[in-house]
Chain A
Amino acid sequence: MRGHAFLVAGYVPGNSPVHRLPLGVKALLLLAVAVLCLASPLVSVRAGAVVTSATLVVVAASHFVAGLTWPRIWRAVRMMLIFLVLIAAYQWWQYGPLVAWQVIAAIVATVLASNILTATTPVDQLLDGLAALVQPLARFGADPERFSLTVALMLRSIPFVIGAFADVRDAARARGLERNLLARSLPVVIATVGYARATGEALAARGLGDPDDDVE
């Protein structure tokens, strides 16, 4: 089904050194990139520009080490191009070219770096990482099992909802209501809520998802 494209879309399989780094290390490196780009201008404008440019070069280099392509960079930049131009123009006008370059380079470097993270790590590994992050919160009353259950429910519901959108579009088209927003959206949401309730009842019937201690 189309919905399952979600589980692979960002990931580019490979065996590069970047692919083989543990997820934790990659996350820390990403954090380092963000900190370098945001904190360096606090020292001085020149230091900020130099450090950020160097970071951008390192990030771009690891992009290619990971076996990723030019179009991928362009795609990431194109999504925010208008905003980048607006920001660059304003910064240049207010603070001069050096600051404008630093600000833009910082945005591009952090965006690229996190793109590398998602491109070199399979989604299930990312989700495992998330579950591991939630684990220590159990001490503060969070419930990792129920959290993971909710995440799993969400992932498996996406194909259903996409299917509902397609069904409703066909139905609306058959009635000549293709451009009617309400006819296109309301049945989707009603089907979705119905699905959620059926799932909720099925979970409850199996004793899943309810809190362990009886509070109510």
Chain B
Amino acid sequence: MTSSRPVNETLTTPSELPGEGSGEKQHTRGRQRWGAMDLSLIAVFAALLAASIAVPGINVGPLGVAITLQTLVVILCGLVLGFGRGTAAVGLYVLLGLVGLPIFSGFRAGPAVLASPSAGYIVGFVFGAAVVGLLATMAVRSHWRAAALFRAAMAGTVVIHLFGIVGFVMKGMGVQTAVVADMIFLPGDIIKNVLAVLVALSLHRAFPDLLVRRRK
């Protein structure tokens, strides 16, 4: 785990920022195109997102509160795959969910999700992963890797929650009610961020070339 990696070896992605849901369409633009490995990682992380809502929540602590891993995996996409691929993975997941695969929480599917009050979170996932990925690419090179990764994760969480609140308000909820309804999820998400950072640290240790590309 050396910290002396050349800066320019990081996987860079097309400079145009992928819009919501259309992230995966961008993957052929730009100078540096994604190879088979990148496509595979994008696809499998999107599958991980889809699977994370299908498995029963994990009961944690003495009270056995069920924790689902969905938001954790969204953050993880950014932390592990970086900006371009992370956004694409979450974008692919959201796109296929909107098209009609029952892969949103509660097995919801289709454009209905955009009409429902919690639509803001779904849209926010894409932008949250983008923010996390952007910061994570810098974070893996910093000396305080864990702290930097956690900062990146928290930034993403803030983005997702902001989108969630805006979504509530756009569907006609009062701002204060929306903030309160949103804050209920915040403590759980912070715990999940700690976990996401632990997982990401292990992953970067197990697969050192995951985010920082080796020169062939």
Contact = CB atoms under 8 A, between A and B. Distances in A.
Interface of A: 2-3, 6-7, 9-10, 30, 34, 76, 79-80, 83-84, 86-87, 90-91, 94, 103, 107, 110-115, 117-118, 121, 123, 126-127, 129-130, 134, 137, 140-143, 146-147, 149-151, 153-155, 157-158, 160-162, 164-166, 169, 178-179, 181-182, 184-186, 188-190, 192-193, 195-197, 199-201, 203-204, 208-211, 215-216
Interface string B77-100: 000100000000000110110011
A184 B58 contact: yes
A203 B99 contact: no
A188 to B, nearest CB: 8
Contacts, number: 240
A193 B207 contact: yes
Given A117-B111, A185-B69, A193-B210, A146 B198 contact: no
Q: What DSSP secondary structure best describes chain A's contact surface?
A: helix
A150 B39 contact: yes
Interface stretch (B47-55, B138-146, B155-163): B47-55
B100 A121 contact: yes
Contacts of B115: 34, 107, 110-111, 114
A193 B203 contact: yes
A216 B58 contact: no
Considering the complex of A and B, which 4 residue pairs feature the smallest CB-CB distances, nearest first? A209-B36, A200-B37, A153-B43, A200-B40
A30 B111 contact: yes
B99 A129 contact: yes
Contact of A186 (B44, B92, B101, B202): B202
A107 B40 contact: no
A79 B46 contact: no
Nearest to B196: A185
A114 B110 contact: yes
Nearest to B198: A182
B60 interface: yes
A216 B33 CA distance: 8
A123 B100 contact: yes
Given A10-B100, A117-B110, A189-B203, A146 B95 contact: no
A192 B45 contact: yes
A86 B173 contact: yes
Nearest to B67: A181
Contact of B100 (A111, A126, A143): A126
B43 A103 contact: no
